[in-house]
Structure 1
């Protein structure tokens, strides 16, 4: 189930658990380097351990058909709870809103650009795709937003890491796809993007672009290590977005989008839920003090839930 990318050593300060995709490894190495710099240590003193997750193993169907969120974190959290690793590195958008009692998201890296991008070998922008063109995505949010903006396009479910999905475009399995700009930038592939999508019309996923570090609540040593690299603005922004998710059954089945901008002591938040066919969208916005981020996100969720009515969640969220 697991393998190590580095030999064990008595000099190891902490072991970092991560998925094994190129993007996940890039994120883990960034965390390692930041920890090394913050504590004046060699990067090699922080070991990286690759853990294969259920989400990595399932490639034949959309993740919401296999149980939804948590598929990219479950096995890593098991290793963390067992003391096999000292900290876990996650893409924040993969982390369920509710964690095991003994674990918490203790630190955040500075957030990368949260926007989505359009990639295609046949068009320079989403608006330029011809009617009937196939856009590949397995994300309910992206599929719903594409259907809302371009109901004349066809949708196909494609999965895999960034490189795999780009290769599927080259193989003609789809005419275009949508990916996170943050992932492309971390892999040095941002030049592959044809168009950066405007968040006003293509609202990002909650937590997109943010790297979360998970530790055991009672592990004072690990918590002290990661506290040195915590980015408070990212923590505040994602608190609002996860507060929105928590009240809306933020599973992989539900098309939900949320984005928070931190401006000094103030935040601006916008959240949305969309029917899978893109025909209806319900949204709410909030502004307030950064200390109220989670509460503002939750309050926006209550408004959106009231707008949509419970039928949205019975007819669409479980569809």
Structure 2
């Protein structure tokens, strides 16, 4: 096997995730040589605007995908939730390793859980999906945008800019920072983002040697669940910055998928579940039925607001 170059964002979490993947590949192919190439994305550069207002899809992946297409790197490690539903022609997801904890978690300055936060408490999140579900559960709270890496967001909370923040559990577990967590938010309170907790190993579709290697770290149960979630996302032509959520679990031969679309203010939420054996069909059909319930109009309203 030739030596490889892997592309990654520069954050501590991104590099930790990438190192984890490289270690798994070296277990499959001892002696494998891999060099890490750090790439700055548009989402990393623009930190003074909320993600939903920056505009465009693939804010954290586009520059890395271009490096793949140009042949400057051989593969890339992304957080699956950062990948838009559609990807550039010529690129594929070569592997999806076993999923980390997919839930969202609450961190608070006083160790309080979501239900215990005093009315008017300020909760920080950069996600319209999280904002909508927080306000649906606690309309008496204030939700304000927070950007930056995990440590930056935690520091801002400790400095008093926020009473609490909501983050993905997976990042904290991968960084071994789970002691910061005050509450794991239940799935029925905070439905995760599409692909949350999973990693996407992306490469060129004609790199058969690399695809053969990546197959050794693919976790098919995770891949099936993520395919159902991404089929739901694609049906809405969505990005990870819409007030849209989906989470699937594999139960024997069937996939059980729950989808959610909401107004950013949490005043209207459409949520529905479906199960079936074909994960792509389940995702598309669930999206179709939710569109019939008005989900498309909700997303259109959120884009205009």
TM-score when normalising by structure 2 = 0.97
The 1-side partners of 2:30 and 2:106 are apart by 40
Select which of 210, 220, 234 maps to 1:222: 210
CA apart distance, 1:12: 6.1
Does residue 307 of structure 1 match 2:293? yes
Does residue 28 of structure 1 match 2:18? yes
Contact (CA 8 Å) 1:63, 1:252: kept in 2 or not? Answer: no
Contact (CA 8 Å) 2:8, 2:15: kept in 1 or not? Answer: yes
TM-superposition CA deviations, 1:260-293 (whole Å, max 9, x none):
001232211100101111011112211121xx10
CA apart distance, 1:227: 1.4
SS of match in other structure, 2:130: helix
Equivalent pairs, count: 305
What root-mean-square deviation, in Å, do the aligned CA atoms of Structure 1 and Structure 2 show? 1.4
CA apart distance, 1:310: 4.5
The 2-side partners of 1:222 and 1:21 are apart by 25
The 2-side partners of 1:246 and 1:25 are apart by 28
CA apart distance, 1:41: 2.1
TM-superposition CA deviations, 1:211-244 (whole Å, max 9, x none):
0000101111221121111111111111000011
Q: Which residue of 1 aligns with 2:50?
A: 62
CA apart distance, 1:121: 1.1
Does residue 17 of structure 1 match 2:17? no
The 1-side partners of 2:135 and 2:14 are apart by 29
Unaligned 5+ residue runs, structure 1? 1-10
Q: Which residue of 2 aligns with 1:48?
A: 36
Unaligned 5+ residue runs, structure 2? none
TM-superposition CA deviations, 1:138-188 (whole Å, max 9, x none):
100000011100100011111111111000011111100001111100000
The 1-side partners of 2:55 and 2:172 are apart by 27
The 1-side partners of 2:302 and 2:217 are apart by 40
CA apart distance, 1:67: 1.6
Select which of 123, 128, 136 maps to 2:124: 136
TM-score when normalising by structure 1 = 0.93
Q: Which residue of 1 aligns with 2:255?
A: 267
Does residue 38 of structure 1 match 2:24? no
SS of match in other structure, 1:89: strand
The 2-side partners of 1:83 and 1:228 are apart by 23
Contact (CA 8 Å) 1:144, 1:274: kept in 2 or not? Answer: yes
Contact (CA 8 Å) 1:70, 1:96: kept in 2 or not? Answer: yes
SS of match in other structure, 2:304: coil
Q: Which runs of 4+ in 1 moved over 6 A?
A: none
SS of match in other structure, 2:282: helix
Contact (CA 8 Å) 1:16, 1:89: kept in 2 or not? Answer: yes
The 2-side partners of 1:287 and 1:62 are apart by 34
Q: Which residue of 2 aligns with 1:157?
A: 145
CA apart distance, 1:35: 0.4
Does residue 192 of structure 1 match 2:180? yes
Contact (CA 8 Å) 1:68, 1:252: kept in 2 or not? Answer: no
Contact (CA 8 Å) 1:69, 1:94: kept in 2 or not? Answer: no
Moved more, 302-311 or 146-155: 302-311
Q: Which residue of 1 aligns with 2:233?
A: 245
Contact (CA 8 Å) 1:120, 1:176: kept in 2 or not? Answer: yes
Compared CA separation, residues 68 and 174, structure 1 to 2 (3 A): farther
Contact (CA 8 Å) 2:270, 2:295: kept in 1 or not? Answer: no
The 1-side partners of 2:260 and 2:281 are apart by 16
